[in-house]
Each structure stands twice: as C-alpha cells, then as structure tokens.
Structure 1
Amino acid sequence: MKHCYLLLTLLLGSTAARAQSPAAPADTISPWKTKFKGALNISEALLSDNWKGGGVSFLGLNGLLNTQANYRRDRHSWDNQADLLFAFAHNKGQGYRKNQDRLFLDTKYGYGISGDWDMFFSLNLLSQFARGYEYGKDASGNEQARLVSSWFAPAFVTAAYGFEYHPATFFKVRLAPFAPRITFVNRPERFLGTVGAEPYGVRPPREVRREWLAAQVLAEFDKDIMQNVNLKARYLLFANYQELRWRSIDHRLELAVTAKVNRYINVAVTGIGLYDRDQDAHIQASQALSLGFLYTFQNYEDKKQP
C-alpha cells in the first residue's frame, strides 16, 4: 500500500501549497483567496447509578476542519480544498464508538472559456481516518462488533476532465464525461464476512480496482441562507460506463446547516446520504446534531449576489 500513502501525501501537499507569483505593486489584489473553518463540538450526559429515569451516561466529540486556497488570474484558476470530519461517542457500558468519519481532498486546475464556464482537470481523494464497525448480536444475544471499514479501506481517487459551470460564488457544478477512478482497499480479506465477496468492488487478494471508463458530476453549494445561518452541500455522482445501469450509479449527498449563536458558538446539523451498490444494496444515511466552538477566517469578502 505504499502507493496509497504517496497519493495521500501528494494530495495533501497540493491542498496546502500556495504558489508564489511574480512581484506586483502593493496596491494590487492578491490572486489567492484563502478560507479556514474549524469546529469542535462536545455533547455530554452524566447520570447517577441510581437514576430511575433510564438512559446511560455518554460523552460525544465532533471535530470539523475545512480549508481552501483558491488562485485565479486572467483565465487560469487553481482551487484546493481539504474537508475533514471526525466524530465519536463513548457510552457507559458500551465504550468508544465512531459515528462520523470523512477525509476529502480536492485539487483542480481550470481554464476559463467564458464568464460562467471553465475547462478543468481535477484530482480528488475520498476516504476515512479510523476503523468502522457494524454492531449487532450473535445467536446467544451477546453484542458483537464486525469490522466494515478502516484507513484506506476504502479510498477512492478520481481524476476528472470536463467543464465546470459557476454562475455564482456560492454554487458550482463540474461535469466530467471522462473520470477514471481507482479504489483502494487495504487488506480486503478482513471484510469478506461483512461487506461481501468483493469488498467495495475489490476482489481479494487484490487491493486495487481500476475503473478507466467513467463519468463524474460534482456539485457544491455554500451560502448564508439567512443571517448567521449557513448551508453547505456537496453532491457527488460516479458512473462506470461499462456497468451503466441506474442501480449501478453511485450517489453521495452531504449537507451541513450551521447557525452561529455568537462569534465562537454554533449549532450544527449534518447529514450524509450514500448509495453505492458495491457497499450495500440500500441507501445509507447518517445524521448528527451538535453544539460547540466554531472559528472561521478568510482573506476576502464574498460578492453579493442579486
């Protein structure tokens, strides 16, 4: 799996990089727009041992980090984004359990062909940080945990070529008729009893699946829909031309609504909907509500939209 870690290192480097442009007069506007958002949310309940109302004590932690560095000069643009999310809960009597985990890195070069359209090439990575388990009970009624995911298991690396439509600063959609994807599953034999005979589409003992003929659609929306309330959404579609049937198309929708109580305190509702037949025949969904600390910074002002 050395090639997996090399890919991750290259993507992280491109996201954090900030190119140096030739010297310019001090009164010119920087071609770089940078943005940072970090949140840490904690939930907790403590019940005494003789509490008759029922329930268990728990501690939950939710961490979010989103950083962007976007360059635009004349017809050329280079956009980079890292979007990280991790959340877990520790329930009394049950121990640590992960409930949300996302690692998304994206870099894109674009060349403007009109005011609202670019030709582009992009490279992105979608994976998770920690092991994930499916919880159930055995024949004796005892609770058991079964491993269903782990670091780079799965990880999806997609290179996309196509056109991007960006009519407003808060909305853009990429249409890529050619988007080859590589799926990595580190040690897939670990998931044979839980994810199927070909975990995430990878047939053991192989750890890689290549889909050269495919298409991708990526749409993003990020806007304050009312005062101190932000809606962020990302929709990702992937279709393999060799298996082009409605039920074989992958869909992933991520939503986050964040309301600022004051400068540093926020309430957030996040949700993910996922359909991938290589993982499960049904739609998967997750949702979380959290209250905690939020810090944002950007070196530019958003243009007002009509």
Structure 2
Amino acid sequence: MKKLFTICLFFLSTAVFAQNEEAVENAQEAHEEVKLWDSDLSVGLNFNQASFSGNWRSGGVNSIAFGSILTGKANYTKDKFSWDNQLEMIYGIVKNDGQGVRKSNDRIFLDSKVGYQVSDHWSYFGAVNFITQFTDGYDYSQDERVLISGFFSPAFLTTGIGMEYKPNDAFALRIAPISPRFTFVTNPAIAENVPTNYGVPLGQKVRTEWLAFQLFMTYNKQINENLAINTRYQMFANYETLAFKTIDHRLDVTMIAKMTKFIDVTFTSINVYDIDMDPGIQFSQALALGIVYKVSNKK
C-alpha cells in the first residue's frame, strides 16, 4: 500500500510540475509577443482667450481660440518583418469679435507601411498614406466667404512600392519608383471657386495617376527629455507630366517642448507646393501652449 501511495504521489508531483512549467513558458511567450509592439498615443488641448473693456486705450480685439492635436503610432517588428502605422489629427478654431468662427488649423494624416529587411539599413516596402481635412475651408478675402475646400475635397491617397533606407531610429527615406496616387474632390461646388479643381477633371470626383514616383522622408528625434521634433517630407512626380514645376512637395514640421508633466508648447507648420492647388508656395504655422496626455508601450 505504501508503494502504491508513493507511486501515485510521484506521478501527481510530476504532473503538477509539468503544468507549472508549461504555464511559465506560455507566460514568457505572451510577454515576448507584447514586446513585438512599440506604440504610443498623445492627446493635446489648448485654449486662448483675450478680452478688453470698451474704453481700453491700447487697442485690441476680444477673441477665443481652441486647438487640439492627436498623434499616435503602432509599430510591429518580428525578425525581418515590420508593420508601421502612424496617425496625426490636428484641428483648431478661432473666434474674433465681429467675425464668425473660423478654422486656424485642420489636418488628417494616416500612414501604413509593411517592410521586409534585406540588409542592416535597407528594406523592401509597400505603403499607403492618406491626407485630407475635417471641415470646409473658406477664402475670407472677399466680402462674402468663398468655399475652397472640405472633407475629401481634396483628399490624397498615395501608394508606394520600393526600397527604404533607415540608418538609425530617427531617420528614414522611402524611394518608391511605383507610386500611384488618387486625388478626390467629392464636392462639385469646389470647382466653381477653384478653377484647377485640385487636378481632378471637371465633372469627375477622382483623378488617378498610375505612373508616378515618390520620395517620403521622416526625421523624428527626441532631442532631450523636454524637446522633440517630428518632420515629414513628401515629393511626388507624375511620369506623364514630368517637369520641374509639376513636381509636388510637402513639408510638415511639429516641435513639442515639454514645460511640465502635462503642459507642452507645440509648434506645427505645413508647407506645400502643388501647381494643381496654387502656382505659389503655401504655408501655415501655429504655436500653442496647452495640456497634453500621453500613453505608450515601449519595447
């Protein structure tokens, strides 16, 4: 009887040990799987207000301004395979005394890239990025405001297949000799005020440029604990209409200076040259002090 009891106890102990060992291995595998993702999300809000009495002799205009920025990334890496995703949404409004509410900033940007590493600094990649805005945009230079843009009017969906050069974590350069682009203008009223209709043929809502080349460069650097800079440059050239003046350029810059744990100063700038929009260089910039909240999951 003692022998039988000893044998049963031995098998029971072995089973419990094996089960515990399997549980530890599963936990380790799950932990390693979490480490494959590098993600973060940042939300910022800012508010500005100014008011003056009717007899304020220094002059001034009563105003209220509100701005918001949301940025996020979710990057997956396993062996030589990578999948990088980026989101950026910015929106701001301002209300000056005697005027209606107007936009001060408006941007939607999405980018997704799949890559396969072939050497220390080079990878094959396939990517798609999307740019548009949230609400209608107006020209206020005339007596009556004039509608000149809106959600999906225009919108740009650009794809790319090629090689990416990434010598370090901060800098990346995509070279895409195959880069079809789709330009959308879904509101036909835009063409009444913008003769070029952003390159979309009149009477249509989509322009497709199948034969095209794209450069896409990013430089995202945490300078120190309190200062970060994120830049993005895009160059797009249609092979069929290739000329110096028809090459599109866009440069986006965001600088974030951390004042306290939850208060940041944010500078944003957009610089665009696209002859289908305007023959000149367009630019906008905004500087804001506000509250920011960030969550992240670092490797």
TM-score by length of 1: 0.86
Structure 1 residue matching 2:29: 3-state secondary structure:
coil
Partner of 1:191: 190
Deviations 1:14-68 (A, max 9, x none): xxxxxxxx98625536211111111111111111222222221111111111111
Deviations 1:106-132 (A, max 9, x none): 111101111111100011111111000
Q: Which amino acid aligns with 1:246?
A: F
Partner of 1:45: 50
Partner of 1:13: none
**Residue number among 77, 80, 103 corresponding to 2:108 in the alignment:** 103
Partner of 2:294: 296
Structure 2 residue 278 is the aligned partner of structure 1 residue 280: yes
Q: Deviating runs (4+, > 3 A) in structure 1? A: none
Runs of at least 5 residues in structure 2 that lack an aligned partner in the other structure: 1-25
Choose 125-134 or 225-234, whichever is displaced more. 225-234
Offset at residue 191 of structure 1 (A):
2.2
Deviations 1:4-23 (A, max 9, x none): xxxxxxxxxxxxxxxxxx98
Structure 2 residue 29 is the aligned partner of structure 1 residue 25: yes
Q: Which amino acid aligns with 1:241?
A: Y
Offset at residue 73 of structure 1 (A):
0.3
**Residue number among 262, 265, 268 corresponding to 2:266 in the alignment:** 268
- The alignment of Structure 1 onto Structure 2 pairs a total of residues equal to 273
Partner of 1:258: 256
C-alpha distance in 2, partners of 1:116/1:44?
49
Deviations 1:228-251 (A, max 9, x none): 011111111111011111110111
Deviations 1:233-287 (A, max 9, x none): 1111111011111110111101111111100001112111110000000000111
Deviations 1:72-101 (A, max 9, x none): 101111111111111111111111011211
Contact between 2:90 and 2:105, CA under 8 Å: does it hold in 1? yes
Q: Which amino acid aligns with 2:285?
A: Q
C-alpha distance in 1, partners of 2:28/2:155?
41
Pairing 1:223-242 to 2, within 5 Å after superposition: 223-242=221-240
Choose 291-300 or 271-280, whichever is displaced more. 291-300
Contact between 2:263 and 2:289, CA under 8 Å: does it hold in 1? yes
Structure 1 residue matching 2:61: 3-state secondary structure:
coil
Aligned residues with identical type, % of pairs: 41
Structure 2 residue matching 1:136: 3-state secondary structure:
coil
Structure 2 residue matching 1:168: 3-state secondary structure:
coil
C-alpha distance in 1, partners of 2:54/2:121?
62
C-alpha distance in 2, partners of 1:27/1:93?
58
Structure 2 residue 138 is the aligned partner of structure 1 residue 133: yes
C-alpha distance in 1, partners of 2:229/2:173?
16
Contact between 2:125 and 2:163, CA under 8 Å: does it hold in 1? yes
Q: Which amino acid aligns with 2:66?
A: L
Q: Which amino acid aligns with 1:181?
A: R
Bigger helix share: 2
Runs of at least 5 residues in structure 1 that lack an aligned partner in the other structure: 1-21, 138-142, 302-306
The CA RMSD over aligned residues, in Å, is 1.6
C-alpha distance in 2, partners of 1:249/1:23?
52
Greater C-alpha Rg:
2
TM-score by length of 2: 0.88
Structure 2 residue matching 1:52: 3-state secondary structure:
coil
